[in-house]
Amino acid sequence: MNTEIHSAIDYYERHPISSEIILVKLKTTRGNLNTVAPEELFPHDQDHYGGLSANDALAERAAIGKGTRVVDFCAGLGGPARYLAHRYGADVTGIELTPARVKGAGELTRLVGLQNSVRVIEGNVMEVPLPDASVDVVVSQEAFLHVPDKERTLAEAFRILKPDGRIAFTDWVAHRPLSDTDKKLMWQGMAVAELHNPQTYADLVKKVGFTVKSVEDLTTDWGIILKQRLAMYIKLREEAQQAGTSAGHDAFYESYVRFVDLVNEAVLGGGRFAAAKPR
């Protein structure tokens, strides 16, 4: 499939990780889909860099615990949301733009019996369908790179958080400007919008009203993780083709190979940001 993408929805509708392929892998592993425990999904549904330990890092920085009301911006298939609910006892609402992933998140959440503490709803993180000062924590992982207006998104997080609420998120950063060729490739392959360097990103977090607590450079760690993920995506593509499900599009793989190189060259990288809304 060589069709170019024009939005994040296009990208995620063709992403190699889908609810369908997760269910195929799970059924292959255990033989059936009866009485599936949440932790049985975790090897398959954590579509972000660093897996469960990355979830734990955000939970620690955002002080997530039993009863914490968490909103996951760009929640995808709900893997981190289910983990935070199961591991920490949080009540999690995911906001996700892509209808197919909202549907898939609901199916997976019901499969493991977490529908009372996790729900993923269709919505835009630039206009979140939640009331002012209604939640304790906002999290997100490698998602704001797709959002055309990061300031507006961060302002929405600030709006829905209670006083003393916390935000913790990871995202792509640009240590050096991309060439026009690489910008085009990142957009066509992975719907990458404008990227910031770590300091500019932290300044944006401050601009909307947050007090920045920490900024961490994850670039070196991501270089290792991304090489492993590239191998995983190649394998998933083969498995998806064999199963007759979506195998992703060619531009994704071309752009992902280049992305891995750019991270290992420290042109692009990752950052983890934590901040709080003043009382």
Does any domain span residue 1? no
Name the H helices within the chain: 8-13, 19-30, 38-45, 51-61, 79-88, 99-111, 150-160, 180-190, 198-207, 219-243, 250-264
Mean pLDDT of the chain: 92
Does any domain span residue 96? yes
Q: Which of 209, 201, 211 is nearest to 268 (CA)?
A: 201
Sheet with strand 135-141: strands edge to edge: 118-122, 91-96, 69-73, 135-141, 161-174, 268-276, 211-217
- Residue 192's domain spans which residues? 8-276
Q: What is the pLDDT of residues 124-142, one digit of tens each?
A: 999 999 999 999 999 999 9
Does any domain span residue 186? yes
Instruction: Count up the domains in the chain and report the number.
Output: 1
Q: What is the pLDDT of residues 203-218, one digit of tens each?
A: 999 999 999 999 999 9
* pLDDT at residue 233, as a whole number: 77
Does any domain span residue 2? no
* pLDDT at residue 21, as a whole number: 85
Does any domain span residue 64? yes
Q: Are 108 and 102 in contact (CB under 8 A)?
A: no
CA distance 163 to 71: 15
Q: What is the pLDDT of residues 47-75, one digit of tens each?
A: 899 999 999 999 999 999 999 999 999 99
**pLDDT at position 16 over 90:** no
Q: Which position has the higher pLDDT, 190 or 246?
A: 190
DSSP designation for 272: E
* pLDDT at residue 94, as a whole number: 98
Does any domain span residue 84? yes
**pLDDT at position 96 over 80:** yes
Confidence of residue 2 (pLDDT cuts 50, 70, 90): very low
Does any domain span residue 201? yes
CATH at residue 81: 3.40.50.150
Does any domain span residue 3? no
